[in-house]
Amino acid sequence: MATGHEHGRLALAGGGSIAMPQRGWRAAGAGRGYALPLALAALLLVLTVVPVLTVIVSSFRPSGLPLSDGWTLAHFAKVWSAASTYRLVADTLIFAAGSTAFGIALAAILAWLVERTDMPGRDLFRAGILMPMATPPLLLAIGWVLLMSPSIGIIPSLLGALFGEGAKAIGIYNLPGMIFVQGLAYVPTSFLMLAPAMRNMDPVYEEAARTAGAAFGQTLRRVSFPFLVPALLSVTTLLMIVGMLTFDVPAVIGQRGNVNVMSSEIFNLMNPANGLPAYGEIAALNSSLFVLLAVGLYVYYRATQQSERFATISGKGYKAARFRLGRWRPVAAGFVALYFALAVVLPFLALLWTSLVPYFAGFQTKLLAQLSLKSYATLLGDPRLWEGVVNSTVIATAAAVATTALALFVAWTIVRSRLRWVRILDAMSMIPISVPFLMMGVALVFIFFGLRAIPIYGTVWIIALGHLIVFLPLAARMMQTGVLQVHHELEEAASVSGATFLENIRRVVVPLLQPTIFALLIWLVVHSLREFSVAVMLVSRKNEVLSTILYSLWDQGEPGQAAAIAVMLMLVLGGLVAVLTWLTRAGRER
């Protein structure tokens, strides 16, 4: 009973002495503290606002570097007076819009089949939906290039055998090819965003429409579809932003087919054949793009707010009536199986085959006798690979832990603080959503290339920092969902019981959020291990990671070794994704 009592007595007798040693009497207790929100605001400012500002400032500097002198519009003038820029923007838009449309359409059909019909095997599908996370766009693209290589690829050969030599001409080194692969890569994200919207739709609205005389098609169009609009809008915005500057598919497919998009143009400008990169033009391209994306972010923010409003309308505790597919059930199951074949199985088999054959020559039965583990042996004897393994592991671990911790504090503060301005933390943590990965990589180069006081340029830490920033928006959102599910009285009960803020976090908040924290950690490790667009901007000889080693082997004409890394990476990622699936299912059953 000691302290509070004594202090209170002191305060009574002493008149004017403050009972607790604290700065400002409002500083105590959850929900009213200033210190944590202020510290987080400062940190988020540095992590999310400063990089964007750096790129924008750089685009107005004559030298193209942020800390140099003078102002100019010359970079914008140069970039936008070139006819090739418009061509570039047009191709980028076609690529982004095409892959977004293809990915969402595919995901919407899958989500509807899984959530609203009696398709056989839908539980199996739900368990496996995270699996494509193990085939990141880079591997997917390489896998599809192997499958589709002109004349020797498995698919052209097959088509040739079936439909004659003419059919062999089908190629992948073009925009439709890029759109197809990128679209496949978008399906898991789109599915995860659309499925809840379909699942949570209260069938009473549809039943009401049916009893009001609407036919099945009319019901879908006039009642069901409007409910999905917010979710569709937010996933569309998100994927469009990603598509505007993703580099995996353009690097593997676009570069060979001479289809240039913004990301490959920026990459080429950053890696000139000789001399220094044209920083000013790079910054000007990025800044111009950012204006487009800021609009996108605004739409996304509005759309997600909208979808939350819709979510509150629908109640709980009902079982959605499932649409009976009847004799279409096998067709539906076949469609889903085809998706898995295209997104996971075929690319994996192509990579596996390539990693085992002595030279790349498509699929030929005569090669069966020559299968060997030579590519693996060469790789495993190469110290470069082991450095990559260590670097990737360090980066993934550091980025996952740091991002999770930051997301936890940001989410907790946003949900629990009563200060009105904490909403700005939410907005700030979402900024990286509107910054393409490649651009964030460029921004970090701009900042740390000149900033010798923090010597992380060229080390693994700059890549870890990049991953922290680009994965923060999703991590913060996941954590917010988790914190919202913890009833505030559970924390208040701990405070009243005598727990300090840190004891409360350690003994109550963290244990209750354990499933979310574990799932987030694994999600982050997986995405850091497979990440390519940020890393490719930040690598030098000393901090190579697996994805960049893989790409450089591929680029240098070592498909066997590249495929061997890809196969090993897919197996590791697949194992992690299996754990993640098991964790999220276990969490749901609690």
Partner 1 sequence: MLLADRLRKEFALDDGRIVTAMDGVSFRIAPGRLYTLLGPSGCGKTTTLRSIAGLETPDRGLIAIGDAVVFDSVRRILVPANRRKIGMVFQSYAIWPHMDVYENVAFPLRVAGERLRESDVAARVAKALATVRMEGFERRPATRLSGGQQQRLALARALVMEPRVLLLDEPLSNLDAKLRESMRLELRRIQKALGITTVYVTHDQTEALAMSDVVAVMEQGRIVQEGDPRSIYLRPATRFVAEFIGSTNFIAGKIMRASGAEALVEIEGGTLRCALPNGLAAGARVLVSIRPEDVTLRAAAAAAANQGGPNRIRGRIVEQIFLGSLADHVVAAAGAELRAWCHPSSAFVPGTEVVIEVDPARCVLLPEKA
Residue number, 26 or 256, with CB nearest to partner 1:
26
Closest distance between partner 1 and the C-beta of residue 455, in Å? 42
Q: What is the spatial distance between Cα 90 and Cα 506, in angstroms, rounded to a whole number?
A: 52
Distant-in-sequence, close-in-space partners of 9: CB < 8 Å, separation ≥ 6:
none
Task: Give φ, ψ of 245 to 5 degrees.
Answer: -140, 25
Task: Give φ, ψ of 455 to 5 degrees.
Answer: -80, 70
Q: Distances in Å between the alpha carbon of 472 and those of 115, 150, 214, 217, 432?
A: 29, 40, 44, 41, 8
How would DSSP label each residue in 44-84? HIIIIIHHHHHHHHHHTSTTS-TTSS---SHHHHHHHH-HH
Closest distance between partner 1 and the C-beta of residue 418, in Å? 9
Residue number, 65 or 508, with CB nearest to partner 1:
508
Radius of gyration of the chain (CA): 26
Q: What is the spatial distance between Cα 514 and Cα 586, in angstroms, rounded to a whole number?
A: 12
Q: Please tell me the total number of residues recorded for the chain in this structure.
A: 590
Task: Give φ, ψ of 3 to 5 degrees.
Answer: -60, -60
Closest distance between partner 1 and the C-beta of residue 502, in Å? 10
Residue number, 8 or 330, with CB nearest to partner 1:
8
Closest distance between partner 1 and the C-beta of residue 28, in Å? 4
Q: What is the spatial distance between Cα 385 and Cα 446, in angstroms, rounded to a whole number?
A: 28
Closest distance between partner 1 and the C-beta of residue 12, in Å? 5
Residue number, 162 or 502, with CB nearest to partner 1:
502
Closest distance between partner 1 and the C-beta of residue 21, in Å? 11
How would DSSP label each residue in 77-115? HHHHH-HHHHHHHHHHHHHHHHHHHHHHHHHHHHHHHHH
- Which one, of 111, 97, 245, 84, lies nearest residue 187 by Cα? 111
Residue number, 500 or 540, with CB nearest to partner 1:
500
Closest distance between partner 1 and the C-beta of residue 505, in Å? 12
Residue number, 265 or 491, with CB nearest to partner 1:
491
Closest distance between partner 1 and the C-beta of residue 562, in Å? 46
Residue number, 8 or 176, with CB nearest to partner 1:
8
- Which one, of 310, 247, 223, 204, lies nearest residue 95 by Cα? 247
Dihedral angle sign, alpha carbons of residues 262, 268, 269, 271: positive
Residue number, 5 or 319, with CB nearest to partner 1:
5
Q: How many CB atoms lie within 10 A of CB 281?
A: 21
Distant-in-sequence, close-in-space partners of 531: CB < 8 Å, separation ≥ 6:
136, 437, 467, 470, 547
Residue number, 317 or 498, with CB nearest to partner 1:
498
Closest distance between partner 1 and the C-beta of residue 517, in Å? 13
Q: How many CB atoms lie within 10 A of CB 253?
A: 25
Closest distance between partner 1 and the C-beta of residue 551, in Å? 44
Closest distance between partner 1 and the C-beta of residue 16, in Å? 6
Distant-in-sequence, close-in-space partners of 395: CB < 8 Å, separation ≥ 6:
460, 463, 464, 467, 528, 545
Residue number, 513 or 576, with CB nearest to partner 1:
513
Residue number, 5 or 316, with CB nearest to partner 1:
5
Residue number, 382 or 492, with CB nearest to partner 1:
492
Closest distance between partner 1 and the C-beta of residue 30, in Å? 8
Distant-in-sequence, close-in-space partners of 422: CB < 8 Å, separation ≥ 6:
37, 413, 414
Residue number, 21 or 217, with CB nearest to partner 1:
21
Q: What is the spatial distance between Cα 419 and Cα 425, in angstroms, rounded to a whole number?
A: 11
Closest distance between partner 1 and the C-beta of residue 3, in Å? 6
* Contact set with partner 1 (CB under 8 A): 1-5, 7-9, 11-12, 15-16, 18-20, 22, 25-26, 28-29, 32, 420, 487, 489-490, 492-500, 503, 507-508, 511-512, 514
Distant-in-sequence, close-in-space partners of 311: CB < 8 Å, separation ≥ 6:
200
- Which one, of 345, 369, 370, 347, lies nearest residue 359 by Cα? 370
